Amino acid sequence: MDLFSKLKMPPLVNQIREAGVYPYFHELQSRQDTTVIMEGKRRIMLGSNNYLGLTVNEEVCQAAHDALEHYGTGCSGSRFLNGTLDLHIELEKQLADFVGKEAAMTTSTGYQTNLAAIASLVGPHDYAICDIENHASIYDACKMSYGKMLRYKHSDMEDLERKLQKVPENAGILIITDGVFSMSGDIARLPEIVALAEKYQARVMVDDAHGLGVIGEGGRGTASYFGLTDKVDIIMSTFSKSFASLGGCIAASADIIDFLRHSARPFIFSASMPPACTAATLAALKVIREHPELPQHLLDLADYMRKGLTARGVEIRESKAPIIPIYTYDAMRTLTLNRRLYDEGVYVNCVLPPATSPDACLLRTSLMASHTEELLDEAMDIIARVVKE
Q: Which of 191, 190, 148 is nearest to 173 (CA)?
A: 148
What's the burial of 266, exposed, middle or buried (CB within 10 Å: 0-12/13-18/19+)? buried
8 A C-beta contact, residue 326 and residue 315: yes
Of 155, 210, 237, 370, which residue is the catalytic one?
210
In sequence order, what E strands does 6-145 have?
35-38, 41-45, 103-107, 127-131
241 classed as catalytic: yes
d(CA 44, CA 21): 19
Which residue among 182, 240, 272, 366 is the active-site one? Answer: 182
Question: CA of 93: how far to CAs of 40, 54, 176, 257, 330, in Å?
Answer: 43, 21, 24, 12, 47
Find out whether 244 and 54 touch, Cβ atoms under 8 Å: yes
> Could you tell me if 152 and 132 are in contact, meaning their C-beta atoms sit under 8 angstroms apart?
yes
Question: Please, are residues 166 and 150 in contact by the beta-carbon 8 Å criterion?
Answer: yes
**Nearest 10 degrees: CA dihedral of 249, 255, 261, 265?**
-90
State yes or no: is 163 an active-site residue: no
Say how far apart CA 151 and CA 314 lie, in whole Å.
Answer: 32
Active site positions, annotated: 182, 210, 241
